[in-house]
A and B are shown apart, each in its own frame.
Chain A
Amino acid sequence: MAKRIDASNVTAYYGAFKAIEDINLTVEPKTVTALIGPSGCGKSTFLRSINRMHEVLPGARVEGDLTIDGQNIYDRDVDVTAVRRMIGMVFQRPNPFPTMSIFENVVAGLRLNGLRKKSILDEAAERALRSANLWDEVKDRLGKPGAGLSGGQQQRLCIARTIAVEPQVVLMDEPCSALDPISTLAIEDLMFQLKDKFTIIIVTHNMQQAARVSDRTAFFSIEKTGDPGRLIEYDNTQKIFSNPSQKKTEDYITGRFG
């Protein structure tokens, strides 16, 4: 199920502005990889270029190769929707669809892609909600609006919605930054469980979180404002947080910079 991701010389632009330059890294299947770095260093941009969400913004484009199990997702004949079905994404702020119920939110990906059979949808919804540790809290009110849940529940609903389409990679863009510590813990626990089935890449500003949840950590940084972000160091999480090989990484994780 889970897939290996290879980025080579990935460079992304917003119009004329170069946001990241020459990112090279490999993400192994069924691992959690954390992207850390100061604000504006391009980690979210890199994350969004992995499922071709970067190009959604007007004027944004990506150069370089990004391959999923050897297949370049930026090839001309690649279907963008197929890429995004394979690589799901959870956003910084929970974004349940406001016109849909909890149930409809979870099965939105399946239903909007043409699956109609009620029994299959019911089953998929329960499975996804159980995987997202949300089933017990919402099983009696699946018909209620998704926007009526608490922030942490909404975010788990969005995770359930993402894994309901059974992607192979799950990208998370600061999924806990709008949440309280208890909801954060619930989502971190969830990541440990999801790791069995999915490859997970998470952007976080919280270094403790990166240390807790990830197997590998990539540190991004910029020289100064206006410069493109670069990958400074990419290694096992333990090594990054105990004995980084780059001075910059050390400065950042010890809080001397950024």
Chain B
Amino acid sequence: MTTTIANHRTRPPAQPATLRARRLPRYAPPAIALAALLVAAAVVYGTGIGGPVLVVVVAALLYLAGLFAASNAVEGRRSARNRTWSALIHSAFVLAVLPLASVVWTLVSKGVERLDGDFFNTSMNNIGARDPNGGAYHAIVGTLEQVGIAALITVPLGILCAIYVVEYGRGRFAFAIRFFVDVMTGIPSIVSGLFVLAFWVLVVSPVFNDGRPGFSGFAAALALSVLMLPTVVRSTEEMLRLVPAPLREGAYALGVPKWKTILRVVLPTALPGIVTGVMLAVARAAGETAPVLLVAGGGAAINFNPFENNQSSLALFVYQQAGDASKYAPARAWTAALTLVALVLILTVAAKLLARRNRLGR
């Protein structure tokens, strides 16, 4: 007796007689969406409780409910759940992309006003509050030099550190390094700026500078390095760990020494991922304002020398122009922001293309 009950309870659901099932017609989901939109508009505008945003929100909820009900009635519960969850996931994607699209649109629409030759060819030197022209040449130079130097410092250091942690590090020392890299990830940029201010600008650089504190683009690069290093180390570490052990063993079995295996087999395999990590770090560094303000000091004139005197950067330029009293300043700020985003985008695309060239995509 008990066995039959047990059997009954654990029996799988009855097999359907046919593999075919009724499906919602293809026009149904868009029709439901349209109906939801109309109903939402009627309700919201009829009662006068809100504007277009509320219409879209209400319509989305109505659409989800309507889709579930229609699908549940025609296709059954599993399909209804499937459709509703798919719709939810798609909405989440739209929600995530909206801010990005909005940022890009705002930047382009407001930045295009000063997107002229003058902007890329002149600095803010001798530009007064009544001058409509003036440009970000000095800031672009500053950003490129500071981020470039920071990348020169962090990329080799970060990759070597990650190689140590993944391939060589054993025991407490490696554990400590990983722990402190994690801690470094959380350092606020202003703190790294203060660190460089206290350590480099006020204490070390006066030795080379006749006792005067040396605000410079290089100091900014140092502060940015502190911010970039943990990102580079962590992402490289993850990428190196993803390289399958059999690849390393395959190289060892050919009598290839470990260092050469890492250099010629492991690193090339992980390269695209490492490049992505480096570009994330570069993007973060290029957008930092506080450390540059603290240790490079800003400045309106073009200064090509990163080791001496004040330098500006695009992010700092945006900050300064946005707070400037001149009525021409906001337009310059928008164009500089657009330039910064475009610069990071171009660098990222270029780096990805370079990394792909090494792979055999033919």
Contact = CB atoms under 8 A, between A and B. Distances in A.
A50 B252 CA distance: 13
Given A91-B246, A93-B246, A95-B247, A53 B252 contact: yes
Interface in A111-138: 112-113
A112 B254 contact: yes
A108 B256 CA distance: 9
Given A58-B170, A99-B269, A109 B359 contact: no
A248 B246 CA distance: 33
Contacts of B19: none
B358 interface: yes
Given A97-B247, A97-B265, A143 B362 contact: yes
Given A97-B247, A97-B251, A81 B257 contact: yes
A200 to B, nearest CB: 14
Interface in A54-110: 56, 58, 81-86, 88-89, 91, 93, 95-101, 108-109
B186 interface: no
A96 B244 CA distance: 11
Q: How large is the interface on B (under 10, 10 to 19, 20 to 34, 35 or more residues)?
A: 20 to 34
Interface in B228-281: 244, 246-257, 260-261, 264-265, 268-269, 271
Contacts, number: 80
A109 B252 contact: no
Contacts of B268: 99
A165 interface: yes
A83 B359 CA distance: 31
A139 interface: no
B360 interface: yes
B254 A56 contact: no
Contacts of A108: 251, 254, 256, 265
Contact of B254 (A99, A109, A143): A109
A100 B260 CA distance: 15
A97 B252 contact: no
Contacts of B257: 81
Contacts of A97: 247, 250-251, 265, 269
A87 to B, nearest CB: 8
Contacts of A31: none
Interface in A40-60: 51, 53, 56, 58
A112 B256 contact: yes
Interface of A: 51, 53, 56, 58, 81-86, 88-89, 91, 93, 95-101, 108-109, 112-113, 143-145, 158, 161-162, 165
**What 7 pairs across the A-B complex have the smallest Cβ distances?**
A85-B255, A109-B254, A89-B253, A145-B360, A99-B268, A95-B246, A84-B255
30 contacts: A51-B253, A53-B249, A56-B248, A56-B252, A58-B170, A81-B255, A81-B257, A82-B255, A84-B252, A84-B255, A85-B255, A89-B253, A91-B246, A93-B246, A95-B246, A95-B250, A97-B247, A97-B251, A99-B358, A100-B360, A108-B256, A109-B255, A112-B254, A112-B264, A112-B265, A113-B254, A145-B362, A158-B250, A161-B250, A165-B254
Given A95-B249, A98-B247, A162-B254, 14 more contacts: A53-B253, A56-B248, A56-B249, A81-B256, A81-B257, A84-B254, A91-B253, A97-B269, A99-B360, A108-B254, A144-B362, A145-B362, A158-B250, A165-B255
